[in-house]
Every structure is written in C-alpha cells, then in structure tokens.
A and B are shown apart, each in its own frame.
Chain A
Amino acid sequence: MVSLAMSPVTAPGSASTAWLESVLKAFEPSLPAPGASLGGLPRRRSAARDELRRTGLPPTRQEAWRFTSLAPLIAVPPQVLPVPELLGPKPDHPPASGALRLYWDGDRDPLAGMDLPEGLSRLETGLQDSLLGTVLEVAGTTGSWLVRFNTALAGQVLALRVRGNVAVPLELVSDCGQGSGVRPLRLLLVMEEDASLDLLEVHRAAGTSLTSVLVEAQLAPRARLRYGVLAQGTESSCLLAHLAVSQAPASELDLTTAAGGWGLVRLEPAIIQVQGSAATRLRGLQVSRDRQIADLHSLVRFEGPNGQLDQLQKAVVDDAGRSVFHGAVQVPQAAQRTSASQLSRNLLLSDRARVDAIPQLEIVADDVRCTHGATVTRLQQEELFYLRSRGLGADQAARLLLDGFCDEILASLPKSASRWEPANALLRQALPR
C-alpha cells in the first residue's frame, strides 16, 4: 500500500486491474426482487461493468487524465464502505434552521421518514426510468470514466422533482467518517419550468475511502438552481464527482464547488445549454497540500445563441500539492452572440507546488464575446507587510490573505454552507508554516 501511495503514476497493469476487479466484485449487484422496478439501473449497471472491465482505470497517458495520478485511488480498500448504524444530525454541525438535511450513504433511502417541503417530491419510478442517463447523453459524457465507474457500482438513485419555488434550502450530506471502502452516490434532479431550489451537497471523509458521485440535473425553461458542493477530505480519501446539468432557455445555474484536503479529488461539471439563451455561473475553489491532487475538468457547451457563462476557478496549492484545471468551453456555429468569460486564479504557497491550468476554448461561431485568462501568484509581500505593520503576526496575516483569496468563491455557496465553516474546513490544513 505504501509503495502504491508513493508511486507518482498509476502502477501499470496488474495492480490497478486487480483493484478494479475487486471493487466490481464487492459491488456485485444482487438479483432484484421479482417485480421490483429499479428505474432502469440494472441494465445500465451491467453494461457499465462490462465497459469498465474492458477499459480498466483511465490511463494517465490519456489527455484528460494526464496530470492526475491514480495512486491514492487504488490505495482505497476495494470494499463497500460500511454504513454506520445511526444516522442523524451530527452535534458539531446542526442543520441551518429552516434547511432540510438529507443524509446520503448510498445504501439507505435518504427520503425515508422525511417530510418534504412544498415543491419537492420523489420522482416517480417510471419517469426515473426514462430520464436516467438522458442528461449524460445530451452532454456526451456517458463515456467518462467517472460516469462509468459510478454507474457500475451505484445500486440506488436519489431522484427528486422540483416544482415551483422551494423555499427551504436542501442539504445533502455524505460523511464517510473514518470508514474505509468505496461509496457510490447518484442523484437525479428534475426541475420543472420556473422551479427554483438552493441545494448544498456536503462530502466529508476522514478514512481511506473513495466517494463516487454522479449527478444529473435537468433545468426546464426559467428554472433556477443554486448548487453548492462543499467537500472536505483528508490525505487518504478520494472524491470523484461528475456533475452533469442540462439547461433549457432562460434557466439559471449557479454552481459553486469548494474542495480541499483530499488525497485525490476530481470534479467534472458538464453543463450544456441545450438551446443557448441560459445563464451559467461557475465558481470553484480547490485547496491541496502535501502530495494531494485536486483536479477540476469542466465542460460548458452552448447549443444555441445568446448563452452566458461566467466562470472563475481558484486554487490554493502548498507543499508538493498539485492542482489541475481544464476548462473546456464549446461555442459551435449555432451559438451566435454567446458571451463567455473564464478566469483561473492560482495561489502558490511553496516552490514545489504545481498548477496546470488549461483553458480549452473551441469557438466556431463568429459573433461572440469570449474571454479567458489564468494567473499564478504567490502571497504578495507588500500585502503581508502592510498587515504586519498593523500588528498582525506573519501567520495571521497570511491566513487573512488566504481567506480573502478564497472568500470570493466561498461567499457564493448557498447560505446554509456557513454552518460548515467552509473557510476553516478547507484552509485549516493549507496554512503556510
């Protein structure tokens, strides 16, 4: 295990193949009870298992994985992450008053025994059957390794329908605690015309675990989703999340991801404006130190005119940490008058820290306004000195500057996120010494 964890690239062949095979075995689907409908899952699941067996782990030779070592992944025991006996509010983070919190463990039904607020309901099985996978198909990301892996493992889907304005913010919490093993989670969110929702997803892990998340969200015309993902891990834990969203005209998506502390975290937001004319706002922060790897691969595609994108991705990297940002923006011929801006800002706290920020703008339409940029900076000596000259200690000054750098992103998480003290959660381990 130790040698695997230290090796800079995927151990070729046998070790990773064996790991994947063991995971698949641990998640062998049990035969469904006669007559039970599982909403189209079993068919997809067995197809995905076959695909995975054929392709193995993503080769780091592949462009999309070029910068991402998979060593932390195959160090995770290939078993189902045990589910603790009791679920319930953790005393350290009671839900914000008025917020609805659902605990998500991939095994039990998060909705069991819950009173859902007006406008929020469980999606009927028949609809789930026909809708599952459609957003991925629209996005063209069915073949993404993260999608396949989750599809091969997940035995249930949390499927929600949103109608009208849901006044109660929703929190989905997955806490792997000290547990070891793999936890697959899958969400299908269907937002009807004019629906609106605040959704915060919280992922926490402190053991040798892998959380695999697959989200499909479908936004009908004028639907509005404010969506936050706050993910706090530790050196030995991994998080892989594919977040696919399809947006109809006049819909608004405000997606903020904030992740830190994971041995390996990879987020893949894939947003498709199916006829353009929608608004997409992406905010991202990733924090890595020691030998941690934080990777965000985003895709935004406009399939019609007048779409808007405002994307700001930030990274804080310390020690020998590594941050990868790959931001694809696709503006085909049909997407005239698209307005897109993408900015990546990176703060390096050590000489060994490494940032790879790669914008990938594919612009075919001619009447568009697209801008992109990337900056890599260090803590500014003049700013540090100014703060110290007012009596702030060097560490305190650095921490304040870091907080300031991150706040721009964290402030756009849904409001209930403040309960989780995101700045503390993500930066506690990233302080320069």
Chain B
Amino acid sequence: MIRPDAPVLLEIRNLHATVGDQPILKGVDLTLRAGEIHAVMGRNGSGKSTLSKLLAGHPAYTVTAGTVRYRGDDLLALAPEERARAGVFLGFQYPVEIPGVSNLEFLRVATNARRLAQGGEELDTFAFEDLVCERLKVVQMDPAFLERSVNEGFSGGEKKRNEILQMALLDPLVAILDETDSGLDIDALRIVSAGVNQLATPDNCILLITHYQRLLDEITPDFVHVMAAGRILRTAGKELALELERRGYDWVDEGLASSDHAEADATALEVA
C-alpha cells in the first residue's frame, strides 16, 4: 500500500560495499516506507543477497561509501543483534543449520530479546509455547519441528517456513525476505505467501527478493526494482516483473552500458 505521507522506515543512499577488495555494491539507492511491499529482482550474482546480508550486519561486507538510515538512525552503526532487536529482519536465502541447538529454545531466546527491546515482558517457557503454537499456524508448520535442532535436517522448504515463523515471532518493521520462495512446492508457496500477507501491516514494510513472478502473483508488490551489477537499475510498479518474465534480462546490458556512460560523463564533469 503506497501512502506518500507514510513514515520512511529504511533509506539507503548511494551504498557501496566490498568483500575483501572486490566491490560488489556500487551505489544502491532505495527508500522503503511503512505499508509498502518492494520486490527486488535481478540476475544471479547481481548483489541482492549481499545487500540483504549487509543490512542485517554480516561481518563479511565493508561499506565503503553511502548511508543506511533506519527510522532516521544510522543502521550501519549497530551490531547485528541490535538491528534485529530494533526490528530489522532477514529471511535467509540459505538458512543455517545449527546442530545441538534446540529450535524451540532458539526461538524463545530470540523472541524475548526482541520483546525486551520493544519494552515488553519476557515470556516464560509456558507463555512462549502458547505464542509459538499460535504463530505456527501462520505458516502451517508441524510443532514437531520445534523439538529439533535449528534447521538441522530440515528440507529446503521446511527451512523457509521456519524463517517465516521467525518473522511471525519477531514482529519486524523491516522484513527482507531473500528468495523465500525458492525450494517451496506449489502448496507451500501459497501457504507461506498467505503468511507473509497476513504479517504485512500498514506499519511495517517488506523487501522481497525473488526470481519469479509466481511469488508476486501471491504477494502483490507496490514497487519492483531491478538490480544489476550492484545497483538498482530500474524501478517501476508490479508490471515490471511481468515484463521481465517476458523479456529476460538482456536489455539490462544496454541499460548498464548507458548508465556507465552517464557515470563516465559525470566523472568527467567532476574532473573538469
């Protein structure tokens, strides 16, 4: 839902980032307001996961230029756990398996960390079990998964459901869902999408990273962005995704070439 007067939750300006010496993000601009759903698409390796992990605070990436503001504050100054407690959530493209750590225990500790930051009360084991049973319904997940180790031996689709369960528990203001649809069967895709729709409110915003229109058939985006070579190359409404489905990404190369010219011109101007 687009409301021009809605508060800006996340504002990314001219973000540049490297892994080691290798530049990966080369000037990302993106603004997310409360109530909005954004989709980011783009070729493999264009930098989508890098952007999402960087926003969550992954230590592998170094920001070399630009800013990220979360509700007006400098997000990049926060440790990963502080970002999460403040309401930034990343649904991982590849959720990590953690043998020996109980999923239920992990979910409880995480939920309580967020609740404390929101000024709420910590939940004891019993109250938490009530809450988690209720939230399991959002993704129609079997309670048996709570008894297992975090993601250990979960199928691809089960891992993705577990991610959305975490989103449902943590009640984020900015949710970045990195290819949540990959690995889901047709029914699971519907269930998970319905869950995400249920969790989308006028107060939060969602950034969906996906390769496929079928997810956007279920969750209607307000904006579709195309990422290429570490930048947002084009932004439009939901019809852009349909166009990509038809045309693929070949046009991107022309777009990149011309924007490289533009950049070169700009540099030339600066030098002059």
Chain A: residues with CB nearer than 8 A to chain B? 380-383, 385-394, 396-397, 400-401, 403-408
Interface majority SS (helix, strand, loop, mixed), chain A:
helix
B117 within 8 A of A: yes
Are A389 and B56 neighbours in the complex by a CB distance under 8 Å? Answer: yes
Per-position 1/0 for B69-107, Cβ under 8 A of A: 000000000011101110000101001101111000110
User: A211 to chain B: closest CB distance in Å?
Assistant: 29
Measured in the bound complex, the distance between the Cα atoms of B81 and A404 in whole Å is 20
Taken together as a complex, chains A and B put the C-alpha atoms of A396 and B108 apart, in Å, by: 13
What is the CB-to-nearest-CB distance from A104 to chain B, in angstroms, rounded to a whole number?
Answer: 32
Asked whether B80 lies within 8 Å of A388 as measured between CB atoms, the reply is: yes
B170 interfacial contact with A, CB 8 Å: yes
Instruction: Give the chain A neighbours of B166 by CB distance below 8 A.
Output: 390
Q: Report if A391-B96 is in contact (Cβ < 8 Å); known contacts: A381-B59, A396-B109.
A: no
Interface centre among A382, A391, A408 (most CB of B within 10 A): A391
Q: B74 to chain A: closest CB distance in Å?
A: 18
Nearest-neighbor residue (CB-CB) of A411 within chain B: B100
B31 to chain A, nearest CB (A): 23
Q: A381-B59, A401-B101, A403-B101 are in contact. Are A393 and B96 (CB under 8 A)?
A: no
A387 touches B98 (CB 8 A): yes
Task: For A394, list chain B residues within 8 Å (CB).
Answer: 79, 81
User: Taking the nearest CB of chain A, how far is it from the CB of B135, in angstroms?
Assistant: 14
Q: Which of B58, B100, B110, B117 contacts A385 (CB 8 A)?
A: B58
Q: How many residues of B contact A (CB 8 A)?
A: 29
Residues of B within 8 A of A392 (CB): 81, 109-110, 113
Q: Which of B79, B100, B150 contacts A403 (CB 8 A)?
A: B100
Residues of B within 8 A of A404 (CB): 98-101, 149
Interface residues of B (CB under 8 A from A): 56-59, 79-81, 83-85, 90, 92, 95-96, 98-101, 105-106, 109-110, 113-114, 117, 149-150, 166, 170
Q: How far is the CA of A403 from the CA of B150 in the complex (A)?
A: 13
CA distance A393 to B109 in the complex (A): 10
- With CB as the reference atom, state the residue of chain B lying closest to A402: B100
Q: How far is the CB of A389 from chain B (nearest CB, A)?
A: 5
Q: Is the CB of A391 within 8 A of B100?
A: no
Q: Which residues of chain A have C-beta atoms less than 8 A from B113's C-beta?
A: 390-393
Given contacts A387-B98, A391-B114, contact A400 B57 (CB under 8 A): no
How far apart sit A392 and B57, CA to CA, in the bound complex (Å)? 13
A389 in complex: contacting residue of B57, B98, B99, B105, CB < 8 Å:
B57
Given contacts A389-B90, A391-B170, A400-B106, 13 further A-B contacts (CB under 8 A): A382-B96, A383-B98, A385-B56, A386-B96, A388-B84, A389-B56, A389-B58, A391-B84, A391-B113, A392-B81, A401-B101, A404-B100, A408-B99
Alpha-carbon distance A389/B114, docked complex (angstroms): 11
Q: Is the CB of A385 within 8 A of B109?
A: no
Whether A386 lies near B100 (C-beta < 8 A) is no
Pairs A–B under 8 Å by Cβ, sample size 28: A380-B96, A383-B96, A383-B98, A385-B57, A385-B80, A388-B57, A388-B80, A389-B58, A389-B84, A389-B90, A390-B81, A390-B166, A390-B170, A391-B81, A391-B85, A391-B114, A392-B109, A392-B110, A393-B81, A393-B113, A400-B105, A401-B101, A403-B101, A404-B98, A404-B100, A404-B149, A407-B100, A408-B99
Are B110 and A390 in touch, CB under 8 angstroms?
Answer: yes
Instruction: Indicate if the CB atoms of B92 and A386 lie closer than 8 Å.
Output: yes
Assembly CA distance A388 to B88 (angstroms): 12
Most buried by B among A386, A400, A401: A386
Q: How far is the CA of A387 from the CA of B150 in the complex (A)?
A: 10
Residues in A neighbouring B98, C-beta threshold 8 A: 383, 386-387, 401, 404
Establish whether residues A391 and B59, one from each chain, have CB atoms under 8 Å apart when the complex forms: no
Q: Report the separation of the CA atoms of residues A380 and B106 in the bound assembly, to the nearest whole angstrom.
A: 17
Please indicate the chain A residues that have their CB under 8 angstroms from the CB of B58 in the complex: 385, 389
Smallest CB–CB gap between A178 and chain B, Å? Answer: 34
Name the A residues within 8 Å of B56 (CB-CB): 385, 389
Bound CA–CA A269/B166 (angstroms): 44
Whole-angstrom distance between the Cβ of B177 and the nearest chain A Cβ: 13
CB <8 Å contact, B101 and A400: yes
Could you tell me the distance in whole angstroms from the C-beta of A90 to the nearest C-beta in chain B? 27
5 shortest A-B CB distances, which residue pairs?
A: A404-B100, A391-B113, A390-B110, A391-B84, A404-B101
In the bound complex, CA of A382 to CA of B59 (Å) = 10
B208 → chain A closest CB, angstroms: 18
Query: Which residues of the partner chain A approach B100 to less than 8 Å between Cβ atoms?
Result: 401, 403-408
Q: Are A388 and B79 in contact (CB under 8 A)?
A: yes
Select the residue from B57, B80, B113, B170 with max chain A CB neighbours within 10 A. B80
Residues of B within 8 A of A389 (CB): 56-58, 80-81, 83-84, 90, 92
Q: Which residues of B contact A408 (CB under 8 A)?
A: 99-100
| Cα of A393 to Cα of B80 in the assembled complex, Å | 9
When distances are taken between beta carbons in the complex, the residues of chain B under 8 Å from A400 are 101, 105-106, 109
Task: List B contacts of A406 (CB < 8 A).
Answer: 100
